[in-house]
Amino acid sequence: MRPVLNPLVLSLKESATLAINARAKELRRQGANIVHFGFGQSPFPVPEVIQQALAENTDKKDYLPTQGLPELCEAVAAFYNNEFGYSFLPSNVCVGPGSKELIFEIIYLTEGPLIIPAPSWVSYGPQAALRGKAIITVPTKRENNYRLTAEELDNACYNSGQGQKLLVFNNPNNPTGALYHEKEVKELAEICRAYQVIVISDEIYAMIDYDQQAMSSLAVHYPEGTIVSGGLSKSFAAGGYRLGVVLIPDSLEMVMASLRSVASETFSAVSAPIQYAALKAYGDFETVRPFVKKTTDIYHYVMHYLHARFIKMGLNCPKPAGAFYQFPDFDNYRAPLAKKGVITSASLAHALLTENSVAVLPGSDFYLPTTNLGVRVAGVDFDGQHALDTWPGSDHVTKEYFREAFPKIIQGCECIAAFLNQFM
């Protein structure tokens, strides 16, 4: 049979992150000693109190309200208001099977093009394409740590003409680890307000902020037009639980009403036991806070170790301030790489994996031109349980301890250095 498929689906390939994960796993299965800097998953175990809450609620079998368990919506609003100074009500919260799905549904039910700062997370573009929505990519500058400026946003909004537009704004950022500070966010808020932009503020990494609460959000400076998304996947280490949240202000009540309808006709409601587990995470956050703090300290240390090594190798790389990614570029090696036939980030990522056994994602998957030689490094190839059990605190990390607890992080640096050594 030759089924006729939706043409919007035909152009879609497998998500780049999931594809590199499958490839690295397959190479490992075949016995290759791969360093996996390709997949952005928390290496830590789900905090025990959350696991326990899940175990205690396996009897919860009834469908829950589409928007979510009312106590959970209350806990989520309180969590965001307390931690970040937002002003959401429980009725502003919608729970879904991962923030990825919720972001897609918001893209689906709103009109207008989607503005994507480049580099940005791999899935926003394909989600917009699935809806037949136009994408406006806005290149950001390495010198500005790949942070979108008010001027860049202003130009993009102006050039896109009249009519509603959406902006997806990821802070802290995947793939760069960049974090926006108050002054920049205030300036961006002014532009958003002037053009009445609907913002999806993707804050899935909000708690992984190395300096603790230095992050500033459009939900504070442009609350009337900002939808916040988040969930259990990153700071709570529970990506596989598939629970995400969005917080939609009253001023966008029509978006919430439509989301409720779309959700009720698609996923109906998130699994009830998972919602009770999430209630523990958000509703009793003080029991989880030490875990979030400790894991953030570990990410901070590991990411700054990687950053220092990359700078020593002669790569250009803004220092990450949050999440667990960074974005080194190999521009300084462009000429010798070209002699080898490596002129795109995709061929660079391929060479790093096949010649030196390091999996990274090419910058072209993050909306950059193919010849930009940036790659995304996810610094999470370590045994999270072991790190959590043995972490001595950032001030007490010895060389011996680091080598014992984070061998793949060191191996990854050595592999990239060996790759570059061929050009010396």
Ligand X SMILES: Cc1ncc(COP(=O)(O)O)c(C=O)c1O
| Binding flag, residue 127, ligand X (CB under 6 A) | no
Dist CA 320 CA 414 (whole Å) = 20
Of 360-389, which residues contact ligand X (CB under 6 A)? none
Of 211-240, which residues contact ligand X (CB under 6 A)? 231, 233, 239
Residues near 348 by beta carbon (within 8 Å), at least 6 away in sequence: 330, 337, 342, 362, 373, 375
| Binding flag, residue 202, ligand X (CB under 6 A) | yes
Binding mask 160-199 for ligand X (x = CB under 6 A): ----------x---x-------------------------
231 vs 249, which CB is nearer to ligand X? Answer: 231
79 vs 195, which CB is nearer to ligand X? Answer: 79
| Binding flag, residue 40, ligand X (CB under 6 A) | yes
- The stretch near ligand X (CB under 6 A) out of 2-10, 95-103, 126-134, 183-191 is 95-103
Binding mask 253-272 for ligand X (x = CB under 6 A): --------------------
- Give whole-number Cα distances, 135 to 121, 340, 421, in Å: 14, 34, 39
Matching residue, tokens 């806990």: 75
117 vs 249, which CB is nearer to ligand X? Answer: 117
Query: Which tokens in the block code for residue 78?
Result: 């309180």
98 vs 412, which CB is nearer to ligand X? Answer: 98
**Whether 310 contacts 328, CB under 8 Å:** yes
Minimum Å gap between C-beta 12 and ligand X is: 17
Query: Which tokens in the block code for residue 344?
Result: 């795109």
Minimum Å gap between C-beta 392 and ligand X is: 29
Dist CA 168 CA 24 (whole Å) = 29
| Binding flag, residue 100, ligand X (CB under 6 A) | yes
Minimum Å gap between C-beta 95 and ligand X is: 11
- The stretch near ligand X (CB under 6 A) out of 61-69, 98-106, 109-117, 129-137 is 98-106
309 vs 376, which CB is nearer to ligand X? Answer: 376
Minimum Å gap between C-beta 120 and ligand X is: 8
Q: Which residues bind ligand X (CB under 6 A)?
A: 40, 98-100, 121, 170, 174, 202, 204, 231, 233, 239, 244
